[in-house]
């Protein structure tokens, strides 16, 4: 069963346009088949009248020519034709209220004789007989040639510069020889001429408008269908990837595409928030487990360390045992460091907040680690604005974050290099950028460097950046990393300005 509203948009538009265009199409059909037929009937009645006049005149002219030739055989045919024409035309024109013009054309001499006028009104003095004959002959030239070549009567619709007339032309035979062309002309009613002209103009304009409307409708429908397809394809791609965006579109469909893009952005943000929540929950659970493990490890390690220190005082004379104890002490220090990192990871949620002047605080951090930079041949460049910015944070926790980032930068420049530290105000946030000239980080590893226990350094615990990120997020901030292998890395930490 046909359901119109379940069809494609293009089909609906084309169907609606066809329904709307039925009226003008019917008007055109009516004008073509009925109004034009009415004109034909009017012209047919006038044609019968002119035909009757011409046939009667043709018959009388032939009778006059035959009568006069029998009386005066040597008479000039030109004079004979003119006399016969005027003798026959006079009674036909006498007493007529309507205007009829009778004419005859001598084929051999190309002369023309005229009786009657189409108009009541004639300018004073007229246009002159010669000019009038030339004009009438020129207006009827095509009809004369048609009758002369075919030998048959015809009816034509003639036209002057400001009027229309109907003319009926018939051949005149004398002794079975075509000698002249006779015709009668009658002026069409001015209203008919104006109406016919107006109808033709209206018909032409209507056809042009109709054609233009069809073309515009088809173009608009195709364009609309194309835009709908763009939205449809965009929705299909959005099902697979929420980062995709539908291109800009004008009009109402543009508002729809904008709303869809906003909805996709909202869903993407919701996914990110959900993933962050899951990550926080995982980290919290992991932190509790790590804290328990670290506490359990701390006691045995402390006992082992105390035992080693006791043994050192008793084996001073035995070098071999002393070397073994030194190796144990080194490993115990590593274990204590690992336990400290584990406890730090599990206790980042506990913060003591206070106002911190960023400029002075960052200067104190770089000053404290300056010996490490000098030892590793790293030049420090700082760029702090004159304006002092304040954030709310835990001084010890943030110190831990910045020192961790700086240490990582130093380790990424084993042969020395340059470390730039910049303070970058950005609307209601303050950015602290640490840019090194080290080996850089491969692009595929950038999303993993903040994962717990992920490390690209030999012997690294993989907790330093994970702890730093967690501390930054607790301070309602975020961290952005830009890196290119062989060209260094930039860590930018953003915090809300107090």
Q: Are residues 95 and 149 in the same domain?
A: yes
Residue 120 lies in a domain: yes
- In angstroms, the CA 464 to CA 452 distance is 8
Question: Which of 317, 345, 373 is the last residue in one of the domains?
Answer: 345
Distance of alpha carbon 135 from its chain centroid, rounded?
Answer: 61
Tell me if 20 is assigned to some domain: no
Q: What is the pLDDT of residue 1?
A: 40
116-136 core/surface letters (b: 16 or more CB in 10 A; e: else) = bbbeeeeeeeeeeeeeeeeeb
Both 141 and 181 in one domain: the answer is yes
Burial (Cβ within 10 Å: 0-12, 13-18, ≥19) of residue 355:
exposed
Give yes or no: residues 306 and 358 share one domain: no
Would you say residue 394 lies in a domain?
Answer: yes
Which structural domain, as residue segments, surrounds residue 148?
43-188
Q: Give the end of a domain, one of 188, 210, 226.
A: 188
Shared domain for 302 and 367, answered yes or no, is: no
- What pLDDT score was predicted for residue 333? 72
Does the reported pTM lie above 0.75?
no
The answer on 468 and 355 residing in a single domain is yes
For position 135, which CATH number holds? 3.30.450.20
Residue 407 lies in a domain: yes
CATH number of the structural domain spanning residue 271: 1.10.287
DSSP at 31:
I
- Phi and psi angles of residue 450, each rounded to the nearest 5 degrees, phi first: -95, 0
Q: What percent of the chain is helix, strand and coil (3-state, nearest 5)?
A: 60, 15, 25
Domain for residue 443, yes or no? yes
Determine, yes or no, domain membership for 428. yes
Identify the pLDDT of residue 168.
93
Per-residue pLDDT at 419: 93
Which CATH number is 360's domain given? 3.30.565.10
Instruction: Clarify whether residues 369 and 474 are in a common domain.
Output: yes
> Of 161, 162, 158, 178, nearest to 170 (Cα)?
178
State how many domains the chain has: 3
Residue 471 lies in a domain: yes
Q: Is residue 241 part of a domain?
A: no
381 with 440, same domain? yes
Q: Output Rg (C-alpha) for the chain, integer angstroms.
A: 55
| Count of CB atoms situated within 10 Å of the CB of 394 | 19
Helix (H) or strand (E) holding 478: strand 478-483
Same domain, yes or no, for 425 and 322? no
Mean pLDDT in order along the chain per 10 residues (498 residues) = 53 66 65 58 80 91 85 79 88 72 91 82 64 88 92 85 81 91 84 63 73 75 80 83 80 79 84 75 66 64 71 70 73 68 60 87 89 90 89 88 90 90 89 92 82 64 77 89 90 91
The verdict on 358 and 399 lying in the same domain is yes
Instruction: Tell me: do 56 and 178 sit in the same domain.
Output: yes
Residues 265 and 182 both lie in one domain: no
Are residues 393 and 337 located together in one domain of the fold?
Answer: no
DSSP symbol at 140? T
Task: Show the tokens assigned to 357.
Answer: 């002047």
Q: Dmax over Cα atoms in the chain, in whole Å?
A: 181
Q: Which of 164, 188, 212 is the last residue of a domain?
A: 188
pLDDT at residue number 16: 64
Q: Are 178 and 170 in contact (CB under 8 A)?
A: no
**DSSP-H helix ranges across 72-128:** 77-93
Residue 160 pLDDT = 67
Nearest of 196, 136, 146 to residue 171 by alpha carbon: 146
């Amino acid at each position: 069963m046909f359901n119109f509203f379940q069809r494609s948009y293009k089909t609906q538009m084309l169907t609606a346009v066809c329904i709307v265009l039925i009226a003008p199409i019917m008007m055109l059909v009516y004008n073509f088949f009925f109004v034009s037929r009415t004109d034909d009937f009017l012209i047919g009645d006038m044609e019968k009248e002119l035909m009757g006049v011409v046939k009667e005149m043709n018959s009388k002219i032939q009778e006059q020519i035959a009568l006069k030739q029998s009386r005066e055989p040597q008479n000039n045919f030109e004079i004979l034709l003119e006399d016969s024409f005027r003798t026959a035309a006079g009674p036909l024109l006498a007493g007529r209220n309507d205007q009829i013009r009778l004419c005859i054309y001598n084929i051999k001499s190309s002369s023309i004789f005229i009786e009657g006028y189409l108009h009541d009104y004639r300018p004073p003095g007229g246009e002159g007989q010669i000019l009038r004959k030339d004009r009438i002959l020129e207006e009827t030239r095509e009809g004369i040639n048609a009758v002369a070549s075919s030998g048959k009567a015809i009816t034509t619709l003639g036209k002057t510069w400001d009027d229309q007339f109907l003319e009926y032309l018939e051949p005149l035979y004398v002794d079975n020889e075509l000698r002249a062309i006779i015709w009668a002309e009658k002026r069409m009613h001015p209203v008919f001429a104006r109406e016919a002209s107006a109808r033709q103009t209206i018909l032409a304009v209507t056809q042009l408008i109709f054609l233009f409307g069809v073309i515009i409708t088809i173009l608009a429908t195709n364009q609309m269908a194309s835009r709908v397809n763009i939205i449809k394809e965009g929705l299909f791609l959005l099902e697979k990837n929420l980062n995709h965006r539908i291109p800009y579109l004008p009009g109402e469909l543009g508002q729809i595409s904008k709303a869809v893009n906003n909805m996709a952005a909202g869903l993407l943000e919701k996914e990110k928030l959900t993933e962050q929540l899951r990550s926080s929950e995982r980290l919290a659970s992991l932190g509790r487990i790590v804290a328990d493990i670290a506490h359990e490890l701390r006691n045995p390690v402390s006992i082992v360390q105390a035992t080693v220190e006791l043994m050192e005082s008793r084996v001073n004379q035995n070098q071999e045992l002393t070397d073994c104890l030194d190796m144990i002490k080194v490993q115990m220090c590593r274990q204590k460091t690992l336990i400290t990192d584990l406890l730090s990871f599990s206790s980042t949620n506990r913060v003591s907040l206070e106002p911190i002047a960023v400029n002075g605080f960052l200067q104190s951090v770089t000053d404290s680690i300056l010996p490490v930079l000098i030892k590793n041949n790293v030049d420090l460049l700082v760029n702090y604005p004159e304006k002092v910015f304040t954030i709310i944070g835990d001084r010890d926790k943030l110190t831990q974050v910045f020192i961790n980032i700086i240490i990582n930068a130093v380790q990424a420049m084993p042969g020395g290099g340059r470390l730039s530290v910049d303070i970058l105000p950005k609307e209601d946030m303050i950015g602290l950028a640490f840019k090194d000239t080290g080996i850089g980080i491969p692009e595929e590893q950038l999303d993993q460097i903040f994962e717990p226990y992920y490390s690209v350094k030999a012997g690294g615990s993989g907790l330093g950046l994970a702890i730093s990120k967690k501390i930054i997020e607790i301070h309602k901030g975020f961290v952005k990393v830009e890196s290119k292998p062989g060209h260094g890395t930039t860590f930018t930490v953003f915090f809300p300005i107090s």
